[in-house]
Structures are given as C-alpha cells and as structure tokens.
A and B are shown apart, each in its own frame.
Chain A
Amino acid sequence: AQSVSQHNHHVILSEAASLELGCNYSYGGTVNLFWYVQYPGQHLQLLLKYFSGDPLVKGIKGFEAEFIKSKFSFNLRKPSVQWSDTAEYFCAVAGGYQKVTFGIGTKLQVIP
C-alpha cells in the first residue's frame, strides 16, 4: 500500500521568506508524485508533478520540487513566498491504477 507523510501541518512565514515543505512517501514500485494546492474557497489545483526524467520539477507560480529517490522524498520549495501563496498544500503519490493517495496537507500562512 502507498502512503504519504507531510511533516509540517501549519507553517507561518513572512513575505519574501523561503519555503520548503517536506513530503515522504512509501510505495514498492514506480510512482508518480504531485503537489496540489487549495486556495481558500477554491478547487484543488495541480501545482507540479513528477513522472520521470529530471528529478527537479518546476511548477506554476515559481514553485519547484525535487524527487530524491533514495530518500523517498518530494519536497516542495519556493525561494520567496508572497501573501497570495497562503493556501493549503497537499503532497500526493499515485502508484498502481493511478489511485492518488494524499498527505494530510500543510496550511501555509504568509504574513504581509
């Protein structure tokens, strides 16, 4: 069975601070990895994804994530956050049959 662990449940940062959200997964086979974002009152949206190739993946709005296979990790980063990045972020893994398993989510609050 696949599982996802997100280390930070609630993060508060000032604008322009750097962000790194931890994500570890467990699965015995090949996985696809995702970060989703949910802005207040909106749908879940895909931020970025990793299927294969370059382990450093760039997504929308200046976010990136690095897949480190040896550590089973897929941490999300942004060099300088903005107030508009306030949202909830979910790491997710899709293994067999494309069933997507989500982490518990991290609420990010950016203070102007």
Chain B
Amino acid sequence: GAVVSQHPSRVICKSGTSVKIECRSLDFQATTMFWYRQFPKKSLMLMATSNEGSKATYEQGVEKDKFLINHASLTLSTLTVTSAHPEDSSFYICSALAGRSATEAFFGQGTRLTVV
C-alpha cells in the first residue's frame, strides 16, 4: 500500500517554543491530507484538512493560529504547533488519501509531542 512518513516520531520542547511536524507521502501524490490528535484513552480527533495549494480547513474548536498547517506540495504537509504549552502535549497523526479515486486513507506513524 501507499506509504506515509511522519517526522519526527518523538519531540520534546520547552513551553513557548514552536514545533514543526512533517507528513510526507512517499510513493504517491496527495492533494488532501488530514491531521489528527489523539488524547489518552480517547479517539483520534480530526484537527484539520490540509489541501495542497490552499488554506487548511480547521475543525470547530481548533485554533488555526496555534496549529499552522502548510501543504505546499503534493507530497508534503506540515503542522506547526506555535508557542507550545504543556496542554499541547499529545500524539499527532497525519493521513493522506490514496488509492483509486483517492478514497483510502494511509496514516503516518504519529508524533509524540511532549511540552515541558
């Protein structure tokens, strides 16, 4: 199947700093990627839909100025957590649509963010 690579897999940062997470589709082009956040003992919550060449669409309650999404090419979307706080500590996962008619979602391995 298609491969989605997410980097880094783990990151620890200080409060107030910014962290960038990359999501790459390695063997296919993805016009649409999704960013999820997983809280402990909870489901994956969709944060935003990232569209190549246009602004991301954020879900209700997600601060677009805090979680900056850039999808500058057909193989790369980035999520930047700005001015990180400890409550931003979480597991972030991206996915990209591939397959016939781009209807199947493939997931990155996730990024464990810890803000200290």
Known A-B contacts A46-B1, A102-B43, A103-B43; the reply to A94 vs B105 at CB < 8 A is: yes
Interface residues of A (CB under 8 A from B): 4, 32, 34, 36, 42-46, 49, 51, 90, 94, 97-105
Interface residues of B (CB under 8 A from A): 1, 32, 34, 36, 42-44, 46, 49, 93, 95, 97, 102-110
Task: Determine if B104 and A49 form an interchain contact, defined as CB atoms under 8 angstroms apart.
Answer: yes
Task: Determine if A98 and B43 form an interchain contact, defined as CB atoms under 8 angstroms apart.
Answer: no
Task: Determine if B95 and A100 form an interchain contact, defined as CB atoms under 8 angstroms apart.
Answer: yes
Task: Determine if A102 and B34 form an interchain contact, defined as CB atoms under 8 angstroms apart.
Answer: no
Task: Determine if A98 and B102 form an interchain contact, defined as CB atoms under 8 angstroms apart.
Answer: yes
**B32 surroundings in chain A (CB, below 8 A):** 98
- Find A102's partner among B1, B44, B49, B106 (CB 8 Å cutoff): B44
Task: Determine if A51 and B43 form an interchain contact, defined as CB atoms under 8 angstroms apart.
Answer: no
Bound: A103/B44 CA distance, A? 8
Most buried by B among A36, A94, A102: A102
Q: Closest Cβ of chain B: how far from A7's Cβ, in Å?
A: 14
Bound: A45/B110 CA distance, A? 12
